[in-house]
Amino acid sequence: MTGAYDPEGLLGCLTSIFLVFLGVHSGRILVHYKSAPSRIARWVVWGCLLGGLALAFSGASKDTGWNPLAKNLWSPSFIFATGGAAFVLLALFYLLIDVLKVWNGSPFRFVGMNPILIYCGHEVLGGYFPFSFQIYGYTTHAIFLSMNLIGVTCWCCIAYYLYWNNFFISI
């Protein structure tokens, strides 16, 4: 008989707290700097800085280096890589959606209108077809990628249908 088990542990909690802090910092940039070029420049600089730290910590490799990328452990290199990618993507989406106005944010916009419903629906229906499926005897990355792409596409279609019918659940 075993007791409670936390696979991430205290260090995983600290690194996840740091990732949340980076998100708060990106929001503070949005509040304190009013011009689009200054916002974008700061987000890109932070993204490059964090990406460089991830490369330095991991030795530019997935499995080797001083601190390998490990999502299960929420390693510092994983936090730097995901935080850096998030800063760069935020700058890119801000540029495309708010500055240049060449994209309206779909399909993220539709999913973002009912995030709790989509999350709960995925938790309840995540093991059922078409949201998930298993091809017995085959466990390749291509199979998992296709399964997840089909599942995400289904949830995007559901989110669009809910958006089209003005059905929103909020807390």
pLDDT band at 62 (very low <50, low <70, confident <90, very high): confident
Please state the domain extents for the chain: 1-101, 106-171
Q: How far is CA 40 from the centre of its chain?
A: 19
How far CA 107 is from CA of 17, 41, 55, 157, in Å, comes to 28, 26, 31, 9
pLDDT digits (tens, 9 = 90+) for 111-167: 999 999 999 999 999 889 998 887 777 788 888 899 999 999 999 999 999 999 999
Query: How many other CB atoms are there within 10 angstroms of residue 29's CB atom?
Result: 19
**Angle, CA of 143, 16 and 24, to the nearest 5°:** 110
Mean pLDDT of 77-98: 96
Q: At 39, give phi and psi (nearest 5°).
A: -65, -50
Size (the chain), residues: 171
Residue type at 88 in one-letter notation? V
Task: Report whether 128 contacts 75 (CB < 8 A).
Answer: no
Q: Which two tokens stand for residue 130?
A: 């078409």
Tell whether the model's pLDDT for residue 4 goes beyond 70: no
Report residue 35's pLDDT band, with 50, 70 and 90 as the boundaries: very high
